Amino acid sequence: MPKPELDDLDRRLIAELCADARLTQVALAARVGLSRSAVQARIKRLEREGVIRGYTLRLDRECPAGVRAYLLVQGSGPSHERAVRALEAFPEVRVADSVSGDIDLVLQLEADRVEDLNRLRDEVAKLPGIAATRTLLVLAPRFDRR
């Protein structure tokens, strides 16, 4: 699928929705200088083209109880891609980023307890295509630009 072309108005709409996805279409229209129907049509097009894939809730980092960690993963062999697909089944894996260097993947994890992270780490390490893992426990959040 070709990458959709975004104009300045699309980018402004996306920026407004990133800041507050609960804005009404009337409020969005006022902020970007379009009619409500034009905003509605653009949002539907952005959703249809996969630019907007969904809407989500961002919680204050102090709000949820639990622990966060990064799991650094080294892959091995042709099973690596299969392991990446298997990681999607773990709800504790919030983000999986492929990176360059000695590490192949950086996983952002969230769980209720350290014991849950430990169990997850053990399960990930057993997946075919995973050569090694290293866990970095988040001690204190500093800031988040999302």
Q: What is the pLDDT of residues 42-62, one digit of tens each?
A: 999 999 999 998 887 766 655
Cα separation, 28 vs 10, in Å, equals 11
pLDDT band of residue 27 (cuts 50, 70, 90) is very high
pLDDT band of residue 18 (cuts 50, 70, 90) is confident
**136: its two tokens:** 């970095």
HSE value, Cβ hemisphere, 13 Å, CA-based, for 107: 28
* pTM exceeds 0.85 for this model: no
Q: What domains are defined for the chain? A: 8-48 (1.10.10.10), 67-137 (3.30.70.920)
